[in-house]
Structure 1
């Protein structure tokens, strides 16, 4: 993988939930109308993206941060 940006704890939680559901990030984004770059922003902590953050927390049953 060529990504140099570290993954945040929230990002790891997203990845874990997607793995549990046997779903990749691209499919998750397509199903829920989330721009892939916003999901990436949240995984790597490069932007807060609060609206999408709350949506993803609900969809993946993650504790609010």
Structure 2
């Protein structure tokens, strides 16, 4: 089944870092009190969700280039 929305470069940075940590999106969200739909919004670019974007960047230690991607 094809995706409804493509993954953004920032979304790929999130997915890549979660893979490095051997953690899936659901586990990451549960551990860090982030609604799953908000992380999904960040991955697809459906919403900016600045509050959660900053939190995800900090928690996953993403660099500025990935953050702006």
Shorter-normalised TM range? over 0.9
Match of 2:20?
A: 20
Higher relative contact order (CA 8 A, sep 6+): 2
Could you tell me how far apart the structure 1 residues matched to 2:46 and 2:63 are?
20
| Aligned residue-pair number | 65
More helix by share: 2
After superposition, the CA RMSD in angstroms is: 1.1
Q: Deviations over 1:19-43 (max 9, x none)?
A: 0000000000000000000000000
List 4+ stretches of structure 1 deviating above 3 A. none
Could you tell me how far apart the structure 2 residues matched to 1:4 and 1:63 are?
27
Which structure 2 residue ranges, 5 or more long, are not aligned? Answer: none
